[in-house]
Structure 1
Amino acid sequence: MQEQTNRDEIYEYLKSKYKRAVIGKKELATELGISPSTVDLYISKGMGIPSYRKLGTARNAKVVFTLVDLADYLTQTIKTV
């Protein structure tokens, strides 16, 4: 129950900050405190980041992360008291 409350609070914070449903790699890097190149590395390894969606089939297609997925990821990876 507490985890659901935390996720909802994180989601509301992100929604008010970005005012849209998805963010890009640079914004994700800012939220996670890592560099955009580290986000690229994690994508290539398939680990360490929230679920993402690739917009298109090209190798360099834009990658976006939903705020819901980011809130879930943060809730599962950050411990709160």
Structure 2
Amino acid sequence: MNQLQELIYNDLKTRYNKSTLSKAEMANELGISYSTIDGYIARGFGLPNYKKLGKAKNAKVIFNIIDISEFLSQTIKTM
């Protein structure tokens, strides 16, 4: 883990006090809507690795903060 990833990881861990984030929390971190998260999941790109808990269409999806910190450290925001 590089220094930027570690900073992001520590920030997320401190703010959420858990090791995974929900879709709503992930949407908040990325500054996008909940439905956009669903769209990215359907397309299979634009998000860090995630785990779907169950096989149902509406099963809960979680994101590990280690994967989030890696994703965010490699993402370049354009305006």
Indicate the TM-score class for this superposition, using the shorter chain for normalisation. Answer: over 0.9
Q: Which of the two has greater helix per residue?
A: 1
Partner of 1:46: 44
Partner of 2:26: 28
Q: Which segments of structure 1 move beyond 3 Å, counting only runs of 4 or more?
A: none
- In the alignment, structure 2 segments of 5+ residues that lack a partner are none
Residue 37 (str. 1) matches residue 30 (str. 2): no
RMSD: 1.3
TM-score (norm 2): 0.93
Partner of 2:54: 56
Q: How many residue pairs were aligned? A: 77
TM-fit CA distance, 1:39: 0.4
SS in 2 for 1:74: helix
1:19 to 11, 17, 20: 17
TM-score (norm 1): 0.90
TM-fit CA distance, 1:57: 1.3
> Structure 1 CA distance, aligned partners of 2:37 and 2:57?
16
1:18-55 Cα offsets, whole Å, 9 max, x none, are 00000100000000010000000000000101110001
> Structure 1 CA distance, aligned partners of 2:24 and 2:10?
20
